Amino acid sequence: MKVLIVQPIHESGINLLKSAGFEVVYASSSDPKVVAKEIKGIDGVIVRAAPFTSEIIEQADALKVISRHGVGVDNIDIESASKKGILVLNTPGVNDVSVAEHTIAIILALSKRIKDIDNAVRVGNFNIREEYSIIDIDGKTLGIIGFGRIGSLVAKKCKNAFNMRILVYDPYVDKERVKEVDGELVDLETLLRESDFVTIHAPLNDETRGLIGERELRMMKSSAFIINMARGPIWDENAVARALSEGWIRGAGTDVFEEEPPDKDNPLLKLNNIILSPHMAALTKECVIRMAVGSAQGVIDVLTGKKPKSIVNYSLLEKYRKI
């Protein structure tokens, strides 16, 4: 049986597939038009962040499983896959630590102005130290949008390491879970008005697309920071750029963009008070191995008739009576 790798993954995943007896083939490009041509005769695919569209799924004639290397499945047309009875899997729990650490790195870099002060010393501006512009995070309020695996880990680490006050907005968790990290479950407006740092860890879906726009950013303190570790379209990039350039908020950080890679005219690229990273929070040396092995194991499980660990489209498969 053949497994198609749409974008490169760590060799540990490839070796696992080969040692289970599968033939591994590589897409010549992640462009859906190209993948649609190369999907014929393929039994399983491993997908990273590239779009896996209905155009591809329509052309699939042997596909049984789409295994997402990572968590967010917004790039996969799950409805089309489910109609054809194709299982969609992901690898939850393998990247929580890496993304939580990246979030905290950004929180610290923003509050201590690491990028600015390093640059200042290099250009002879030692006097930047007299601006008294860096802050402590001890005791500050951290607002977490999306209290799942990553959001709750960020909360736990920031509570334990930095004694931060934790506010949570998540319509699908109960307050008892939030209490475990000594946090408070609040509405979005309270979170935005009271937080010194807001960090986004919700999935991208119809409900969260555009969740943070001008109205929400204007609710935030002018001294506050906002961080997006989830998906670009959850916030309105143009509104964030205006908030940063017009001083509605102090700073921001993001690992994700509405379009990836961002266009060179993206307004966020022109601002100094935002820290940018190229969707790599989960790409630590350790995590790429966990994701490669996890996604490969999912393909092996399905193609050898075992129950995979994490099926994303279980209820849709039931709806279409495909399971």
Q: How many CB atoms lie within 10 A of CB 238?
A: 14
* One residue of 6, 181, 268, 281 binding ligand NAD per CB under 6 A: 281
Is position 145 an interface residue for ligand NAD (rule: CB under 6 A)? yes
Binding ligand NAD (rule: CB under 6 A), the pick from 22, 147, 197, 235 is: 147
Q: Does 290 bind ligand NAD (CB under 6 A)?
A: no
Q: Does 257 bind ligand NAD (CB under 6 A)?
A: no
Q: Which residue has the closest beta carbon to ligand NAD? A: 148
Nearer of residues 99 and 241 to ligand NAD, judged by Cβ: 99
SS3 content of the chain, % helix, strand, coil (to 5): 40, 15, 45
Phi, psi dihedrals of residue 66, rounded to the nearest 5°: -115, 115
Per the listing, tokens 């001083």 go with 247
Rounded Cα distance, 293 and 45, in Å: 14
Report the greatest alpha carbon distance in the chain: 68
Distance CA 218, CA 239 (A): 10
92 binds ligand NAD (CB under 6 A): yes
Active-site option among 180, 189, 260, 286: 260
Q: Which residues inside 196-215 make contact with ligand NAD, applying CB under 6 A?
A: 201-204, 207-208
In terms of CB distance, is 87 or 202 closer to ligand NAD?
A: 202
Are the C-beta atoms of residues 35 and 58 closer than 8 Å to each other?
no
Q: Is 260 a catalytic residue?
A: yes
Does residue 230 bind ligand NAD (CB under 6 A)?
yes
Determine whether 184 is an active site residue: no
* Residue 79: its H or E element: helix 78-83
Of all helices (H) and strands (E), which one includes residue 68? strand 65-68
Catalytic residue flag (residue 231): yes
Judged by beta carbon, residue 212 or residue 300, the one nearer ligand NAD is 212
Residue type, 23: E
**Residue 72 in the binding site for ligand NAD (CB under 6 A):** yes
Closest CA to 57 of 42, 74, 73, 72: 42
Based on the shown chain and the rule CB under 6 A, indicate whether residue 143 belongs to the binding site for ligand NAD: no
DSSP per-residue string spanning 261-305: SPPTT-GGGG-SSEEE--S-TT--HHHHHHHHHHHHHHHHHHHTT
Q: Does 146 bind ligand NAD (CB under 6 A)?
A: yes
Site mask, ligand NAD, residues 107-136, x = CB under 6 A? Answer: ------------------------------
Verify binding: residue 301, ligand NAD, rule CB under 6 A: no
Determine contact, residues 45/39, Cβ cutoff 8 Å: yes
Give the angle subtended at the CA of 8 by the CAs of 7 and 12, to the nearest 5°.
135
Residue 99 in the binding site for ligand NAD (CB under 6 A): yes
Is there binding between residue 253 and ligand NAD (CB under 6 A)? no
Minimum Å distance from CB 145 to ligand NAD? 5
Q: Kindly state whether residue 149 participates in binding ligand NAD, applying the rule CB under 6 A.
A: yes
Out of 67, 82, 91, 95, the only residue in the binding site for ligand NAD (CB under 6 A) is 95
Catalytic residues: 231, 260, 279
Interface residues with ligand NAD (CB under 6 A) are 70-72, 92, 95, 99, 145-151, 169-173, 201-204, 207-208, 229-231, 255-256, 279, 281-282
